[in-house]
Every structure is written in structure tokens, then in C-alpha cells.
Amino acid sequence: MQKKIRVGILFGGKSAEHEVSLQSAKNIIDSIDKDKYEVVLIGIDKQGRWHLNETSRYLLNADNPKLIKLNTNPSHLALVPGNQSHQLIDIATSEPTGKVDVVFPIMHGPYGEDGSIQGLLKLAEVPFVGAGVLGSAVGMDKDVMKRLLKEAGLPTAKFLVFQSSARKAIRFDEVAAQLGLPFFVKPANLGSSVGIHRIANASEFERAIDDAFLYDRKILIEENIAGREIECSVLGNAEPIASLPGEIIANAEHHTFYSYEAKYIDESGATLEIPANLDQDTIRRIQEIAIEVFRVLCCEGMARIDFFLKKNGEIVVNELNTIPGFTRISMYPKLWQASGISYTELIDRLIQLAIDRFKTEQALRTSYES
């Protein structure tokens, strides 16, 4: 009988998207092939402490997105870099608690999706799912991401960038003159629509700016693009493939845009049309641009690319997400299901892509030979 691969599911973290990560982890744990993989649950609390969790009770209020919590325990872990056996160490006793063959980080936002955890795993020489350090960092920072997309000739919305040190210089009239109304205020390094505000008049402006700066030292102010919201999933390393696109139709009665509540709390907050009702030429163009974005931003493993489709057929790239949601209502896995790849098979492919990349990287020279 073939030995099971030990997969460390890394979830939670010091992020405003902590609760989304818990939901994503639950769905991966429920769907992974238990005959092929042995699951090791590593939950990270909001203080950044690592906990080795039991599969029987690793979440509290697991079925309530509003109340879901990580079930912590007194034992704290550390992953030791440079240890070929990939040992997890109990901090209190310095005793090893086991090893993992590969890690599936499902941590959304800062400290999980921005290259931080990817750098640690790379130093520890552990294969991990998803983009590497560079792709993760670029994919997290909307400012850098959009500048690279523009440099590659890919269409993006007009935007302005401000540092917190320049807070007093941000003027509503000047922004509106450059971007028009409405426009959006966003933290540069965050996802799941946390800290995002749609601004239609001056009275909303100051509060939105202050709120966005609570989550990041850098914010984007971006023009509104009138069009359909289309998303496409990408899977692969050197030869990525794109899924069928899907469409998000926000419930205008409850939400002015696809907000955090619409995504994860309010089940009637939006309708997901999977696949989207598009002609074949538009589907092909979206898939081609999605793969180009994936490559331009140095991604590997997986990503979800979000677009706006204007009435005139123009496709505008909104952003890329290197660790997309894996909740039961998330687009990334649903689009692959519509494209013929089941949830369980998708998880298997992502793990195998991580192992394949690790083997390729391990074959590289680390010293000069003449």
C-alpha cells in the first residue's frame, strides 16, 4: 500500500481575512482525498501563534460565517528552516511534533498571501501550493500589480496611489476631477473587499480614506468601470490553463458592489452565473488574457483573475488573487467544477503542482561550478 502524503493545511493568520481563511480551510479539509493524503492541521491565530489542531474540533461555530473561530490550544508550534525532515517543533518543549511533505497555505491577505509565509516555507525547504515569494508579493500589492499590467500593455482602470504620510494632501475635488464619480477607495494590500468603499459624493470621502488606512499604509483610489464583473480561474505552473469564466451579479437592493458581506455573509448578496453567458470569442479572449496576466505577474499553481466587461466588448483587468477563496460559495473551485475538474481533483492537482515545482527547484545549482 502506497504511503500517504502528509499535507499541512495552513490557515487563519494575522489578517482581516482570517475568518474567510477558516471557511476556505474547512472546505479543503472536507474535500481532500483522504485515501491519498494525511491531513495535518496548522491553525494560526490572530496573534500569529501556530497551533497543531485536531481534525475533530479545529473550528468553533464552523457553519456560521459571522461567528466562525479558530479553536486554539496551549501548545504552540514553529517550523524550523533548514531542516530537511520538515519538522514542526513544539515551542515549549523543543520536541519535534512530526513532519509534513507539502504545505497548502490557505491564508488570505497579509502574512499569508503576500510572500511572507512563502518565504518561510522556501527557507524550510517544504513544497507549498500556489505562487512563490515574488508572485505572491506582486499579487498582493494592487499598486505594483497594476503598474506591471500597464507595462505589459494590459488594460486596467485608472488609479491614484497615496501613502499614509500624505494623508492630509488627499483632496476629494482633485481625485474626482481625475477619476470622475463614483470611484473606489481601497487598501493596497488586502482582499475580500475589506476596507473598500464606493464613493459617490464628498460626504463619504474622509471616512472611507481613514478606514482604508486602518488596513494598510498605502491606498488606491480607482475609477469606476461600468461593466459586467467576470472572473476566470487559472491552474498550472509553466503551462497554465484557464477555466470557463463566471459572472458575479451583485444584488443591487442590498449591496452597491461585491462587498465582503455579499461575498461571505449574505447568501443572497450576489448571484454567481457559472459559466457566464458569453459568446465563444469573448470566452476565448478572457481565457487568453487571464493566462497572460498569470504569467506577467510571475504566478504559479493557482490564481483567480477578475475582469470588467464593458458594453462595447472591451475587457479590463481588475486584479489577480493568488490564494482565491475556497469557501462553499467561492468562484475559483466552482469555475473548475464547471470546466470539468471536481473539487477533490483540483486539490490533488494543486498539491502535485507544488511537488513538481519543488523538485525542479531542488535540481538547480546552489554553488558555482566552472
pLDDT in the model for residue 67: 87
Q: What is the dihedral of CA 312, 318, 322, 325, to 10 degrees?
A: -80
Has residue 369 got a pLDDT over 90? no
Has residue 341 got a pLDDT over 70? yes
pLDDT in the model for residue 64: 86
pLDDT in the model for residue 370: 67
Q: What is the mean pLDDT of residues 74-96?
A: 80
pLDDT in the model for residue 359: 96
Has residue 319 got a pLDDT over 70? yes
pLDDT tens, residue by residue, 23-45:
999 999 999 999 999 999 999 99
- Residue in the block written with cell 461555530: 61
Q: Do the beta carbons of residue 125 and residue 82 sit within 8 Å?
A: yes
Q: Which of 203, 155, 207, 165 is nearest to 185 (CA)?
A: 207
Instruction: Compute the distance between CA of residue 336 and CA of residue 241 in angstroms, rounded to an integer.
Output: 11
pLDDT tens, residue by residue, 249-279:
987 665 455 555 555 555 666 899 999 999 9
Orientation angle between helical segments 18-31 and 343-362, nearest 10 degrees? 100
Confidence of residue 1 (pLDDT cuts 50, 70, 90): low
pLDDT in the model for residue 130: 98
Q: What is the mean pLDDT of residues 151-159?
A: 97
Cell of 263: 461575498
Report the predicted TM-score, pTM, of the whole model to 2 decimal places. Answer: 0.92
Distances from the Cα of 116 to the Cα of 133, 300, 302, angstroms? 7, 16, 17
78-82, 98-102, 137-141, 282-286: range with lowest mean pLDDT: 78-82
Has residue 100 got a pLDDT over 70? yes
pLDDT in the model for residue 158: 97
Q: Do the beta carbons of residue 185 and residue 212 sit within 8 Å?
A: yes
pLDDT in the model for residue 155: 96
Q: Where are the alpha helices (DSSP H) in the chain?
A: 18-31, 116-123, 133-140, 142-151, 172-179, 205-213, 260, 280-296, 331-338, 343-362
Confidence of residue 55 (pLDDT cuts 50, 70, 90): confident
pLDDT in the model for residue 265: 52
- Domains of the chain in start order, with CATH, are 5-128 (3.40.50.20), 139-155+226-361 (3.30.470.20), 159-223 (3.30.1490.20)
57-66, 85-94, 229-238, 294-303: range with lowest mean pLDDT: 85-94
Has residue 211 got a pLDDT over 70? yes
Q: What is the mean pLDDT of residues 286-302?
A: 98
Quote the Cα angle for 359-360-362, to 5°. 65
Q: What proportion of the chain, given as a percentage, has pLDDT over 70?
A: 93
